[in-house]
A and B are shown apart, each in its own frame.
Chain A
């Protein structure tokens, strides 16, 4: 039953940016109404991934714990810093980065792999995007357990300020929604972009202070942190948690990224949300 929840639909013609913006917003709402479907799509994928493995979903936590431990040990040797300085920083930053990068990477093929749903019943494009976000947010929450344990073990003091990280994560996820949407639609239309996106993500990883601290940059290179949206997004999640200061301009920039980005891309969603089915 395709439109049980939206029992009345009318399809007409719009040609203005605002008209498309409204359609885009409707699609976002439509997808949210299909939250049950998002839940099933996301959990089915998790089931497939860990089907018949003994440890199942625990692997998510385990593999990131192994990764973080390895990097933490190597890094503290390399930079001659005590693990207490570098390990929590890398661990939390890495998990936030994994959230962003896996959402964007998965959205490059999200629509193509869901073509079966699109072709057989009315499925809003945003429902597919939400499923990607939902699954990765869930994995992120699991992933954060180990970094938090490390922080506690290494004696990081949590204050009320750390709670701002939750706000940071919300802003990061809102930003990911429109980014994932844009990437998903572009990749459905132009299959080369799938490859381009994965290369760009690798480059961004090195340009973003995740494995290194921005303080280490010489002043003339600060620009790659100050104008890097990903540096901002990682910082607002990681830094409050570790008691590191976050400049006010980062908070303003992240609000602009989350809501400004969403507003600007709405007409794009509205224009192409139902066109994608023709490209699959």
Chain B
């Protein structure tokens, strides 16, 4: 059983520009005088009063205009941002596909990178070695796997990253736009592999600007607006309302 529960979660970003970041102003700000006026910290309210609860079987799409807080929400769910206030609990092995190359090292060979990336995703070295043959096979990189990754083309690199990242079976998947990679033929196979992974996972959270993807994958849609949840419901309920709001 995987679950995600957020109650009254808010996230505030302090803006530390060159001024408030420097020690000088922190120190002299305390001494009073004119400088103190610049010292006021500026906060961006990225999320506020978010109440969400997801269980097994939830396929959640997140929509909203740029800057509505989609990425921030995904990062809160991935455990990257600890909420400024509110409480949150997450149960289940969680995988975040926001950077599928995380942990890969250009100086190391493809084979080594398979192990590195798997371990970064939370597997043990032994588990990674067990998965390695199937990843090698899916990547179709053959002898190139014995070369340092820095010699790869960017397409080959993404192909490897994709093959590794989709080889594990997490309970919760968090994704910012669909991931893909490689040439046309690989993309076809990649899509099939990803779709089947997304079907098996217990909870999926996906932020996307593509209505088709959302309609085909998600059974719940959250509409974020200025850091608040404006509407939550099925795709048919939420998406037209979202479009209407920005049409006029």
Q: Which residues of A contact B (CB under 8 A)?
A: 1-5, 7-13, 36-37, 40, 44, 47-48, 51, 116-122, 189-193, 196, 274-275, 277-279
- A190 touching B14 by the CB < 8 A rule? no
- A3 touching B16 by the CB < 8 A rule? no
Closest CB pairs A-B (n = 6): A4-B122, A122-B79, A274-B82, A1-B122, A1-B121, A120-B99
- B79 touching A51 by the CB < 8 A rule? no
CA distance A158 to B190 in the complex (A): 63
Query: Which of the segments B57-65, B100-108, B129-137, B219-227 contacts the partner chain?
Result: B100-108
CA distance A193 to B81 in the complex (A): 24
CA distance A13 to B96 in the complex (A): 25
- Answer whether A8 and B79 are a contact pair too, CB < 8 Å, given A36-B125, A190-B21: no
Contacts of B83 in A (CB 8 A): 11
A49 to chain B, nearest CB (A): 10
CA distance A5 to B122 in the complex (A): 7
- Answer whether A7 and B16 are a contact pair too, CB < 8 Å, given A1-B168, A122-B78: no
B31 in the interface, Cβ–Cβ < 8 Å?
no
B180 in the interface, Cβ–Cβ < 8 Å?
no
CA distance A128 to B105 in the complex (A): 17
Contacts of A44 in B (CB 8 A): 105, 107-108, 116
Contacts of A10 in B (CB 8 A): 87-89
CA distance A13 to B82 in the complex (A): 10
- Answer whether A192 and B22 are a contact pair too, CB < 8 Å, given A1-B168, A11-B82, A47-B105: yes
Residue from B13, B81, B119 having most chain A Cβ neighbours under 10 A: B81
CA distance A8 to B168 in the complex (A): 19
Closest A-chain residue to B125, C-beta based?
A: A36
User: Which one of B23, B82, B87, B108 lies within 8 Å of A47 (CB-CB)?
Assistant: B108
B45 to chain A, nearest CB (A): 13
Contacts of B116 in A (CB 8 A): 40, 44
- B94 touching A1 by the CB < 8 A rule? yes
- B90 touching A48 by the CB < 8 A rule? no
Contacts of B121 in A (CB 8 A): 1, 4
- Answer whether A4 and B105 are a contact pair too, CB < 8 Å, given A11-B88, A277-B81: no
A31 to chain B, nearest CB (A): 14
- A11 touching B89 by the CB < 8 A rule? yes
CA distance A12 to B92 in the complex (A): 18
Contacts of A36 in B (CB 8 A): 119, 124-125
- A1 touching B89 by the CB < 8 A rule? no
Closest A-chain residue to B90, C-beta based?
A: A9
- A121 touching B88 by the CB < 8 A rule? no
Closest B-chain residue to A10, C-beta based?
A: B89
User: Which one of A8, A12, A121 lies within 8 Å of B87 (CB-CB)?
Assistant: A12
Contacts of A11 in B (CB 8 A): 82-83, 87-89
- Answer whether A122 and B80 are a contact pair too, CB < 8 Å, given A3-B93, A4-B122: yes
B186 to chain A, nearest CB (A): 23
Contacts of B14 in A (CB 8 A): 278-279
